[in-house]
Structure formats: C-alpha cells, structure tokens
Amino acid sequence: MFNKKGQAAMEFLMTYGWAILVVLAAIGALAYFGVLSPDRFLPEKCTLPSGTACLDFTGSASQITMVIQNSAGFDMNNVTVTVDPTTGANFTCTDADGDGTLTDGEKDTFTCSGLSLT
C-alpha cells in the first residue's frame, strides 16, 4: 500500500550521518590536542633573506651554529645574524673569522652563544 522508500532513505542518512559526525569529532579532538599539528612533522628551519643560503645549522639550549653562504653576486660587508627565538629575546651572532664580511660565494660559520632556549 504505502511506499517505504522514504523511510529507507531516512534511515540510511541517519546511520551514516552519525558515523560521519563521530569521525569529525575524532578529527577535531586530535587537532585540539596537537596530534595533527604540522609543526610536529616539519623539520626545524633556518630562514635567511634572498641571496644568502643557510647550508647547515645545529643548535642546543645554549648555542646555535650556522653555516651561511653568500650567493648574492656581490660582497657583503658588516654582516650580522640575529636569532629570534620564541622567547622574545634576540641574540646577535658572531662569525668565525670576526671580520663581518662575506665575499661572493664565501661560506662562513656564525655562532650564537649564551642563549637560554629551554
């Protein structure tokens, strides 16, 4: 007598609707607790302006060492490197030879010590 297609469609939507709602709640909980944070999967980075390259860097709670190369096509004078950690204090680094210059193509090591990044 009566057509039961509407009831079947409604039961289908309700069943899968609840399943989708549970999956979304689980994804939301994982995101809230930081499990899905992209920072956990990305490596630490050394970001410099165009024309300079950060070839390598190592760090600990008290010292950061960076190898920087000048690839700008000209010599750079009075080069300073500043580390800006999330603690809010900036630290200026010194280069290994102490002259503050990077000739074109030169690699130099800069060291920041006395940090407190704990």
Fill in the amino acid letter for 5: K
Global pTM reads 0.55
Nearest-CA neighbor of 69 among 59, 79, 84? 79
Q: Which residues pair with 35 in a beta bridge?
A: none
The pLDDT tens digits of the residues spanning 48-99 come to 888 888 888 887 777 888 898 998 889 888 887 777 766 556 677 778 777 7
Alpha helix positions (H), the chain: 5-32
Mean of pLDDT over the chain: 81
CB-based burial label for 79 (10 Å; 0-12, 13-18, 19+): middle
